[in-house]
Amino acid sequence: MSSVPLVLLLGTLPLSAQTAQTPAQPSGQSADARLSDGDGYYEFLRARRLEDQGDLDGAAAALQRAAARDPASAEIHAELAALHARQNQVDEAIAAAQQALAIDPNNSEAHWVLGVVHAALVRATQEGGQAEAKEAASRAVTHLEKALPGRTWDIGATLTLGRLYLDTGEHKKAISVLTKVIDREAGLSEAVLLLAQAHRAAGDSARAVSVLDSVVRGDPQYFRAQIAKGELLEERGDWAGAAAAYGRALEDNPAADEVRVRRAGALLSAKRPEEARTLLEQATKDDPENSRVLYLLSEAQRESGDLAAAESTARHLVETAPKDARGAYALAQVLEERRDYQGVIDVLAPFADAEPTSPQPPPQVEIGLLLRLALAKQQTGHVDEAIALFERAKGEGPSNPLFDVYIAQAHLVDEQYDRALATARAARERWPDDVRLVRLEAEALRGKGDVEPAVALLEEQVRQAPDDVWHVVALGSLLAQAEQFDRAVTVVTDARSRSPREVTLAYQLGAIYEQAGRYEDAERAFRDALTIDPRHAPTLNDLGYMFADRGVRLGESVELLQQAVEIDPYNGSYLDSLGWAYFKQRKFDLAREHLQKAAAQLTTNSVVQDHLGDLLNALNDRKAAIQAWERALAGDGASIEPSTIKAKIHRARQE
């Protein structure tokens, strides 16, 4: 065994409490703990004197002579073991201590030496493998447990024992020992940090945070305590608290770049992107090519609404680290927000098919990459490919109902109702309380024509949680799709009586009335929604489109739809609505600008493609109009009459 720097690992090893004072000439003691030979006792004292003078080799030689003259004394071997330990002579220290224990198995000094030596070996052997380090920790615990009861208070060894209990997973023992240390040595921050770790490992993060709060500003360990507190609060999902803890750590050490980045990440999770952006922009000045910082900065810029800056940062990350999936993922998030689904596919597909690279992306990026690629495939009509990607993400990701939610939704989009139903029901067996799966099961049943079982499922959800808006919305929507408009109105109206300021319910009621052809009632409900929230974009869009499609109040229609597009400028449905309103006003240039954008984004939406066809036909571009109408026929088929579109195509070919 090679020498291990014990002094560097554990701090200076002092003379033990048993040997720190020169013992009196022993007389009448048992053979286990005596120095009976006069020459042996002389050599023992001489060894002390030589060590004090710095002659360590002479001291060791004197103790060896003492042991030879008094072979029944465990104390001499224990003293020699301590001397070797103080010189970082590991093998010699262990051998001498073991000799002492062979004479006296209860010799406290020998157990103490072996305890601290093996404790040092834990840290020294960790690089060599966990098994070796675990064995050293177990031995250290065994010896320290035997040493400490027979010694005066030894804070260093007791603290070491607490740390070893942590290493060996004995969290309750660690808490007990470290609590005693803090009780006797109030304000000892090292013990506080270890005790917090013990509570955290035992699953009591709240207690761990409370313990860390006892480290006061000005203490040298305050910085570490705040970092540990931030980590704990992150684990608990208290992002604002974590950001505050990291902020206090930064006040103590403003140059700590890693802490600055961690605070920025916590601020992002706390939905405070502007503050995160400020920190990250400073970090990029110090390290302009740090991939992690660039990724977080792009996220902060995107969540702040600055898509241009977010895209620029993401593309810079792609250029500086082309094999780092985070760059592609950040860029894809920007493109997704712009509804550029083909762009998302172009960016992410190479990473989805590539061999693992270095550095490996974080798991949330790797799975998120697959999910975003799948959603983009679904949006562009490649549903089978989307489902395959969702299945792959499910196989590679953590156990989570979200994957089955996506798979069932994709089957619904593809009108594969049996498969959607099977997926939702199988997932519900594992996650019976996930209401998303209940709604998907109901939607699949409705698609199969089993309307009443679907209604019964959702009615039960409403009964169990009558204040959950989304249960009501799902039930009202399902009833409206089944053209049971009166029942749908009753469900949503009842919910509105309980939650009159809930904008989603007012909007849903308007949508049901519109589907039923009760336009005055729809307008009244939509205006109620806008009274609650004047910038509720779905209501602005639906009310404006209702006017445009009926060819009434076109000026107000355009105003409403302009507001919706201003709020969500990349929403293809809103762009289509505004383009259609311009078309009805015969402002064809403005109509073309918006309808072409909508059609490029919503390639499988039959209504959107039909609108573009009508516009192109009005502009006498018959060939392009026919192509748009053919896309409408090949699309989702929702809200169109195929015979009407076929008649348009026929007339256009005749002209």
pLDDT one-digit tens code per residue, 284-332: 998 999 999 999 999 999 999 999 999 999 999 999 999 999 999 999 9
pLDDT at residue 110 is higher than 80: yes
- Domains, the chain: 1-168 (1.25.40.10), 469-529 (1.25.40.10)
Tokens of 88: 């970082």
Taken in order 530, 536, 540, 541, the sign of the CA dihedral is negative
pLDDT one-digit tens code per residue, 486-523: 999 999 999 999 999 999 999 999 999 999 999 999 99
pLDDT one-digit tens code per residue, 79-98: 888 898 888 888 999 999 99
Model pLDDT, residue 19:
39
SS (H, E, C) 558-595: HHHHHHHHHHCCCCHHHHHHHHHHHHHCCCHHHHHHHH
pLDDT one-digit tens code per residue, 196-216: 999 999 999 999 999 999 898
Model pLDDT, residue 320:
94
Q: How far is CA 631 from CA 61, 343, 375, 410, 599, in A?
A: 97, 20, 21, 20, 10
CA gap 560, 543 in Å, rounded: 8
Which element (helix H / strand E) includes 140? helix 130-147
Could you tell me the pTM of the whole model?
A: 0.78
Q: Is 278 left (phi over 0), alpha (psi -120 to 50) or beta?
A: alpha
Average pLDDT over residues 24-36: 39
Count each helix (H run) and each strand (E run) in the chain, helices first. Answer: 36, 0
Average pLDDT over residues 473-485: 95
Residue 385, SS3?
helix
Model pLDDT, residue 129:
61
pLDDT at residue 24 is higher than 80: no
Distance of alpha carbon 544 from the chain centroid: 40
What pLDDT band is residue 125 in, cutting at 50, 70 and 90?
low
pLDDT one-digit tens code per residue, 371-408: 999 999 999 989 999 999 999 999 999 999 999 999 99
Q: What is the mean pLDDT of the chain?
A: 89
Model pLDDT, residue 126:
58
pLDDT one-digit tens code per residue, 46-65: 878 887 888 888 888 888 88
Which element (helix H / strand E) includes 405? helix 401-413
pLDDT one-digit tens code per residue, 260-286: 999 999 999 999 999 999 999 999 998
